Amino acid sequence: MKKTKPKRFTDEFKAKVINEYLEGKGGRRALAKKYGLIPSTIKYWLDTRDKNGKLKEDKRKNNIYQFPSKRI
């Protein structure tokens, strides 16, 4: 199975998607489909804003998460 690198998104791109969501230009599912994301990514970005609406620093930037494979 080919390994792929996790996608990284700029703060500008995240802000664009969040602003579209907040302006009612689409729900999480529709925007995820439009931008090739999964809805939970948009939810994470929404949840990680501070009280002023600014994106907080992503503490996961330097971490690589690996999930154990399921063996059948």
- Per-domain boundaries in the chain: 11-47
CB within 8 Å of 12: residues ≥ 6 apart: none
pLDDT band with cut points at 50, 70 and 90 for residue 63? very low
Q: What are the angstrom distances between the C-alpha of 67 and each of 54, 64, 70?
A: 30, 10, 9
Question: Which candidate, 48, 46, 17, places its Cα nearest to that of 31?
Answer: 17
- What pTM does this model have? 0.66
Question: Which candidate, 20, 6, 11, 24, places its Cα nearest to that of 50?
Answer: 11
pLDDT of residue 64: 43
pLDDT tens profile 9-60 = 888 999 899 999 999 999 999 999 999 999 999 999 998 876 666 776 666 5
Higher pLDDT, 63 or 55: 55
